[in-house]
Amino acid sequence: MIKNPILPGFNPDPCICRKGEDYYLAVSTFEWFPGIPIYHSKDLKNWELYTHVLTDDQEVDLKKLPSAKGIWAPCLTYCEEEDLFYVVYGIMNSMNARYFDVDNYLITAKDIKGPWSEPVYLHSSGFDASIFHDDDGRKWVVSLEWETREGYEKPGAICMVEYSPEKKEIIGYPKRIWSGGTDRGCIEAPHLTKKNSYYYIMCAEGGTGYNHCVTMGRSANIWGPYEKDPKNPIVTSVPGDSYERYDPDHLKPKYYNSESVLQKSGHGSYVETPDGEVYLVHLTARPFVPELRCTLGRETAIQKMMWTKDHWLRMADGSNLAKVEVPESTLAEYPVAQIPDYDDFDSEELGIWYYAPRMMPQSFADVKARPGYVRIRGQESRTSLNRVSILARKLTSVYARITTKMEFVPVVHQHSAGLILYYDNMNYINLRKYYSETLSQSALSIIQLENGEKTEFLNSRIPIEDGPVYLRLYIEGRKSWFEWSLDGNKYQKIGRVFDTTKFSDEYCKYGEFTGTMVGITCADRVKHKHYADFDFFEYVADEDKNVE
């Protein structure tokens, strides 16, 4: 059996495609670099982080964008006729006054690992844009056309426009073609496919919250009209009908389904194997209950599907409720390398599993300056939307232990470095070493930012000499706390116990749609050049334990 989620932690908005025997899956990254991870599998069960599409933080500039903006919902397709991969992605610039100002781009590559072409600007007509390669050679771009006018149903409808590969631009203006297959409202995430002489439109509806789902429609003509699947939604966490077209809010916690481990299931994309098996990947989440807070963010799950005799796509078990355990395909099992628990930084290249907000980690994290260490150059405060030195990886379980060994000599009080649990620039806890003018020496203390309110826990401050120090973070369900050690064997707890559930879309007021990260960090708020050396980073997680 395949156990869901197949990509735990911050891996939302999945889009899947196949080239030969290889399956590739792309997810959103929002303000994090590198952008658009590509996961690879040969059996649809075992997945490896394979590469990233966006690695140039000058060409794709996300600096100063608020949390939850940036790269939204990439569409990854493979055009067999051209032997070419396509990625369509949006850069969400602003959601002020619900205008949702987004720019959509298209890039291509012969090899999934690149190099990728220069971005082609498509349009700014809504988000979740995707491309369809028709069998006559024409190409079409669909997206949600966001509605801002008074008196019109919000958030909008699905629109379509033709794309000219020769001119590298769209032809004319997008036109509306579909308003959804249910009355759940909040339609988004359109994908067009073709099979059995039908054009199929797959969308997410209900909002990317607790009423989320996958729906389909079909038409003999690409412009429609599209017929609703009579069994919509085809995948969801909350079966049954609901009328929510009047409510543009996406979260809708009243639709939490206590009978399901997987919540928020929607935003789907499907793939067929050479033997005709069908699998659909979709977004999902596992909240703490009763708080209904998803600390791990929106994750990626997979469901086995089938085509019915009357040419509709259904879950293979005949239901529409997303399942934790899913039958494997007939593809041969193909184990793949996983991200290591222990990174000693002995490699000459930084691991591809590390991320940083709004800039490439390599711009401040150097594994060559001191062999066997990563040297992190300090920059602005962790609250900044500009240049922040946080080297992080995705939290994949709420049962984890994170440890590092740091060497750092702060000179002035604006120097600090340490270990961090980070949701966004307004929500984090940071065990840091810094220079205390009050103590006239280095010290350890914890700083918390909770929805923008900063607290420095000076009552638990500890004076410390300038030698190597081990820092540790424990995450045990709802409880998270820090410890420290001088020898790596005997650890002492420092500070209070924090509420893990608060690191979530549902609690954080300044960001949403992402997920919690853990990492190491350094700040030099004077010259942006003082550094800290980290000997290793260890991440041990129990991914067999469910959120409770």
The whole-model pTM stands at 0.98
Q: Name the region of 240 (left: φ>0; alpha: ψ -120 to 50; beta: rest).
A: left
Residue 341 pLDDT > 90:
yes
Question: Which of 144-158, 376-390, 430-444, 472-486 shows the lowest per-residue confidence on average (mean pLDDT)?
Answer: 144-158
Residue 246, pLDDT above cutoff 90: no
**Amino acid letter at 3?**
K
> Is residue 120 in some structural domain?
yes
- Per cent of the chain over pLDDT 70 is 100
* pLDDT tens-place string over residues 261-307: 999 999 999 999 999 999 999 999 999 999 999 999 999 999 999 99
Domain of residue 360: give its range: 342-541
- Structure confidence at residue 168 as a pLDDT band (50, 70, 90): very high
Same domain flag for 317 and 395: no
Q: With 90 as the cut, is the pLDDT of residue 32 above it? A: yes
Q: Annotated catalytic residue: which of 13, 43, 277, 524?
A: 13
Residue 505 lies in a domain: yes
Are the C-beta atoms of 101 and 94 separated by less than 8 Å? Answer: yes
State the pLDDT at residue 249.
86
Tell whether 348 and 294 lie within a shared domain. no
- Residue 226 carries which DSSP code? P
Q: Cα angle vertex 393, ends 387, 397, to 5°?
A: 140
Whether residues 481 and 522 share a domain: the answer is: yes
Confidence of residue 539 (pLDDT cuts 50, 70, 90): very high
On whether both 402 and 294 belong to a single domain, the answer is no
- 381 in the same domain as 320: no
Number of residues written out for the chain: 548
Residue 547 included in any domain: no
Query: Does 381 lie in the same domain as 500?
Result: yes
Contact, 298 vs 283, CB < 8 A?
A: yes
Does residue 480 belong to any structural domain of this protein?
Answer: yes
Whether residues 313 and 346 share a domain: the answer is: no
More confident residue, 97 or 30: 30
548 located within any domain: no
Q: How far, rounded to the nearest angstrom, does the alpha carbon of residue 28 sit from its chain's CA centroid?
A: 5
Rounded-to-integer distance, Cα 305 and Cα 174, Å:
31
Are 147 and 179 within one domain? yes
Marked catalytic residue, from 31, 57, 147, 188: 188
Tokens coding 165: 């590969």
Q: Are 320 and 456 members of one domain? A: no
Tokens representing 485? 């050690």
| 58 Cβ contact partners less than 8 Å away, ≥ 6 residues apart | none
Give the pLDDT confidence score for residue 480 in this predicted structure: 98
Domain stops at, among 291, 326, 361: 326
547: confidence class by pLDDT, cuts 50, 70, 90: confident
Domain final position from 326, 355, 376:
326
Nearest to 55 by CA among 31, 28, 36, 75: 36
Task: Categorize the per-residue pLDDT at 378 as very low, low, confident or very high, splitting at 50, 70 and 90.
Answer: very high
Q: Is 319's pLDDT higher than 90?
A: yes
- In this predicted structure, the answer to whether residue 166 has a pLDDT above a threshold of 90 is yes
Same domain for 172 and 126: yes
In a domain, 336, yes or no: no
Rounded Cα–Cα distance for residues 406 and 19 (Å) = 44
Q: Compute CA 339 distance to the chain's CA centroid, rounded to the nearest angstrom.
A: 17
Tokens of residue 430, six digits: 């940071």
Please tell me the distance from the alpha carbon of residue 248 to that of residue 153, in angstroms, as a whole number: 9
Q: Taking Cα atoms as reference points, which of 69, 507, 4, 512 lies closest to residue 263?
A: 4
> What pLDDT, on a 0 to 100 scale, did the predictor assign at position 537?
98
Say what the pLDDT of residue 235 is.
98
Report pLDDT for 181: 97
**Which pLDDT belongs to residue 335?**
97
Flag whether pLDDT at 248 surpasses 90: no
Please report the pLDDT score of residue 548 as a whole number.
79
Work out the mean pLDDT of the chain and round it to a whole number.
97
Distance between CA atoms of residues 10 and 513, nearest Å: 9
- CATH code of 476's domain: 2.60.120.200
State whether 358 and 292 are in the same domain: no
Average pLDDT over residues 76-91: 98
Q: Are residues 291 and 365 in the same domain?
A: no
- The reply to whether 380 belongs to the active site is no
Q: Of the given ranges (72-76, 94-98, 441-445), which has the lowest mean pLDDT?
A: 94-98
- Starting at the earlier edge strand, list the strands of the sheet with 156-164: 127-133, 139-146, 156-164, 169-178
Quote the pLDDT of residue 189.
98
Of 119, 22, 44, 115, nearest in space to 74 by CA: 119
Residue 154 is predicted with a pLDDT of 86
- Is the confidence at residue 68, as pLDDT, over 90? yes
- Cβ-based burial of 196 (10 A; exposed 0-12, middle 13-18, buried ≥19): exposed
In a domain, 546, yes or no: no
What pLDDT score was predicted for residue 98? 86
Chosen domain end from 326, 360, 387? 326
142 has which bridge partners? 130, 160
Do residues 152 and 136 touch, judged by C-beta distance below 8 A? no
**pLDDT score, position 546:** 80
The tokens for 290 are 């009763």
Taking a C-beta distance cutoff of 8 angstroms, is the pair 379, 523 a contact? yes
Q: List the CATH number of the domain containing 279.
A: 2.115.10.20
**Bond prior to 230 in cis (omega within 30° of 0):** no
Establish whether 188 is a catalytic residue.
yes
Region 369-393: mean pLDDT is: 98
Please, are residues 390 and 399 in contact by the beta-carbon 8 Å criterion? Answer: no
Per the structure, how many domains does the chain have? 2
Residue 60, in any domain of the structure: yes
Other C-beta atoms closer than 10 Å to the C-beta of 404 total 22
Burial 260-285 (b: 16+ CB within 10 A, else e): bbbbbbbbbbbbebeeebbbbbbbbb
